[in-house]
Amino acid sequence: MAAPGDGEDDLEYDLQFLTATDAHPFDEKAMKQSVGKCIKPRAKLNVQRLVNKLWALEKSHGDRGTMLMLPPPVTRMPREKPVPEPKRETRWEKFAKDRGITKRKRDRMVYDEETKSWRPRHGFKRDGEMKDWLIPMKKTDPDSLDKFEEKNLTKKQKMNKNKLNQIKNLDRANGGRKSAPAGIPTALEFKRALPGNDEKAERSKRGMKAASASLQQVQVSTASMGQFDRRVEGEGKRNKGVKRQFLGNQENTKTRDMQLLQLTLGGNLSKRRDGGGAGKEIRKKGKRRS
């Protein structure tokens, strides 16, 4: 066992985390006599050795003071969460990889040969904006056909097709399982609670309560609190919620004030819950005196 005052420095350092590990055990008899006297000299020496190691590193001086360049860590810290699974390729990514197609960024400005000027590829004053101002009609086209409207309809169909393909790619990336919309409990993915004790069955049972709570919130989410909404088959009784209570008339205010007065005078509210008895007695005495 090395004594605290020995010159040998055999500590294990990890300067990235500013730590030094001393593997030497303490003397059991000395620990029983005084823990502080046994630990304090060793700790003081080890801290001084750690500071000496840090100041021996490369330094940089600046406006914020002296900065030490810490080395890479020695201790490998475990991950907090599991390693994420690799993202599945879409059909286009797989096709581009097989064909060797690489993604390249196109320039925002395009040179227009007709106007002899640079025009944006998309947006206002884009390239080719006036190229289709005249669309020729075929011999088989009827006279009532609007070529401009047909062009806009074709463009919308292509956009809808791209959106549908995007949704299919997301479903394919999830393993074929259709994901529920955001904010909806995962139990809505199942028509009923599944039997068994596996993870999928537990998720279906656990989410049914959340689905029921979401249904109650949706039922009263309209301006009329669901009073004029059409009832769906099998929906069940709607929860109207709790109405707020207000003291809207003079009688309620008087009753509350009389209850506070009776409490102040040390009376018992259990005998007079209406709060109006004291007021009636005061009025009767006043009439008798007059």
Residue 233: pLDDT band (50, 70, 90) is: confident
Residue with tokens 């030094």: 20
Q: In this predicted structure, what is the pLDDT of residue 46?
A: 92
Residue 7: pLDDT band (50, 70, 90) is: low
pLDDT tens track for 10-33: 889 999 989 999 888 888 888 888
pTM: 0.32
Q: In this predicted structure, what is the pLDDT of residue 52?
A: 92
Q: Is 10 exposed, middle or buried (0-12, 13-18, 19+ CB in 10 A)?
A: exposed
pLDDT winner (highest mean) among 68-72, 185-189, 265-269, 277-281 = 68-72
Residue 1: pLDDT band (50, 70, 90) is: very low
Q: In this predicted structure, what is the pLDDT of residue 275?
A: 45
Residue with tokens 């959340």: 210
d(CA 274, CA 276): 5
Please say if the pLDDT value at position 65 is more than 90: no
Question: Which is more confidently placed, 198 or 49?
Answer: 49
Average pLDDT, the chain: 76
pLDDT tens track for 119-147: 888 877 776 666 677 788 888 888 888 88
**Facing residues of 118 across strands?**
111
Q: In this predicted structure, what is the pLDDT of residue 261?
A: 81
Residue 283: pLDDT band (50, 70, 90) is: very low
CA torsion angle 253 256 261 264 (round to 10): -140
Residue with tokens 């106007």: 115
Give which of 218, 176, 185, 179 is closest to 204, Cα–Cα. 185
Please say if the pLDDT value at position 201 is more than 50: yes
Q: Look at residue 66 and give its three-state secondary structure.
A: strand
Beta-sheet pairing, 65-68 with 59-62? antiparallel
Those residues whose C-beta lies under 8 Å from the C-beta of residue 20, and which sit 6 or more positions away, are: 11, 12, 13, 14, 46, 47, 49, 50, 53
Please say if the pLDDT value at position 66 is more than 50: yes
Q: In this predicted structure, what is the pLDDT of residue 160?
A: 92
Q: In this predicted structure, what is the pLDDT of residue 267?
A: 57
Q: Which amino acid is at 166?
A: Q
Q: What tokens appear for 85 in the block?
A: 């699974």
Residue 176: pLDDT band (50, 70, 90) is: low
Q: In this predicted structure, what is the pLDDT of residue 235?
A: 72
Angle at 132 between CA 130 and CA 134, to 5 degrees: 110
